[in-house]
Structure 1
Amino acid sequence: MRLHRSSAALALQSGTAALHLALILAGVGVQDEVLCPTFTFVASVNPILYQGAWPILIDSEPDTWNMCPQMLEAAIQNRLRRAKRPKALIIVHLYGQSAKMDELLALARHYQLSVIEDAAEALGSTCKGKKLGTLGDMGIYSFNGNKIITTLSRGYAGAPTGE
């Protein structure tokens, strides 16, 4: 996708399908755990369930309405104490506003989580000069009727590195 400078891209039926594909590519399977925000559209959670995995919901912070980094770390530590290791992290950027990517990405790297950015509501938005959806391992976008750019119902998945 030229706007986002992704080196690998795929058009799909919907943003939900893009999330589903991203989870498959991240190796998420039965009984795995995926961290995702509580304040999101159900399509952020459904693909986790399609894979037979468990969504671990992380609360939002009041200033961005996006995932709270402190609550994310607390949830990861809680899972590790229970001998569970989450496999992936879905970061949803709401209302064109970036989540706190520096903090979230640092946690993801520290705990070796695949990062999927749901930028369906943030097409064209940036974080420190970089387009949202290009900071994680994979970014997804939706073009459903209620999104920034609509095509009746389509989605897009892109990977910054092409891997």
Structure 2
Amino acid sequence: MAPHSNHPGERAADDPIKLLAIRDSPLSLDEVFRAVGDDAAGGTALFVGTVRNHDAGADVEELAYSSHPSAEAEMRRIAEKVAADYPVRALAAVHRVGNLRVGDLAVVVAVACPHRGEAFEACRRLIDDLKHEVPIWKHQTFSDGTEEWVGAC
């Protein structure tokens, strides 16, 4: 079958948003990957954001994420926009809040589409828009005892 045919599997699913959450417990790659499983998807892109051990030249000791009560609604708005702009078969996004250590998973997003290029583009758009538009703030503590807020107004 030629790519981008009129087959129903080439189109977006009627209800592609499978999982959206903000959690104060550890995130699961397996849960997110299972959530976007779709037999019509030929490409699944998954992005995992982890707590790194440095930022702007300083050693990060730990960080804490907090969110506004509207954060999940904003996640849904962004997910719906991505699903409207790409042939998304399935989409999932989870973000952690609370205290995290270096190496912990902070965010996991995945998008399944009929083809890999669409999946990559949609996943990139999803994580970029979530990072820029969802009211989630990061409080970093550095090894020298200093601290800073990131994303707070």
TM-score norm. by structure 2 comes to 0.27
TM-score norm. by structure 1 comes to 0.26
Greater fraction strand: 2
Greater Rg over alpha carbons, structure: 2
